[in-house]
Amino acid sequence: MPNPFAQKLKALREDKHIGVRELGRMCECTGMHISNMEKGKAMPSGEMLKKLAAALKADIDELSALADQIDPEVSQLIKDKHTAIPSFLRSAKDLTPEQWALLKTQVEEMTRGDD
């Protein structure tokens, strides 16, 4: 049985009516590699995840989670904030999905001027 990443990749591709060879061209790989990922025989690299997300207009964080990978940017943030992030996550572990969405919006508003 294919893994969750494989199932999601195939569903995203089919929803967009893109063939495996076409997606391969879009991601600079072979159609066979796309097919192998969809069958759970291969897992994507971090760079391939970014290409797949861009080509399929998909959420990179969702694809990364399904592929059991952590985006290198997120990994670096965890290293840089090695005491704050675990403490924050422990404090927030019981938030509802609605509270997480509100928290995300609040953080985005707080950091909007930091670009």
The fold of 4-70 is: 434 Repressor (Amino-terminal Domain) (1.10.260)
- Overall average pLDDT of the 38-62 stretch: 96
Q: What is the mean pLDDT of the chain?
A: 93
Residue 75: predicted pLDDT: 87
Q: Max alpha carbon distance in the chain (Å)? A: 46
Q: Answer whether residue 73 shows pLDDT above 90.
A: no
Contact 44, 37 (CB under 8 A): yes
Question: What token pair was written down for 72?
Answer: 């290198």
How large is the C-alpha radius of gyration of the chain? 17
pLDDT grade, residue 115 (50/70/90)? low
- Could you give the CA distance from residue 26 to residue 83 in angstroms, rounded to a whole number? 40
Query: So where are the chain's domains?
Result: 4-70, 81-114
Give yes or no for residue 92 having a pLDDT over 90.
Answer: yes
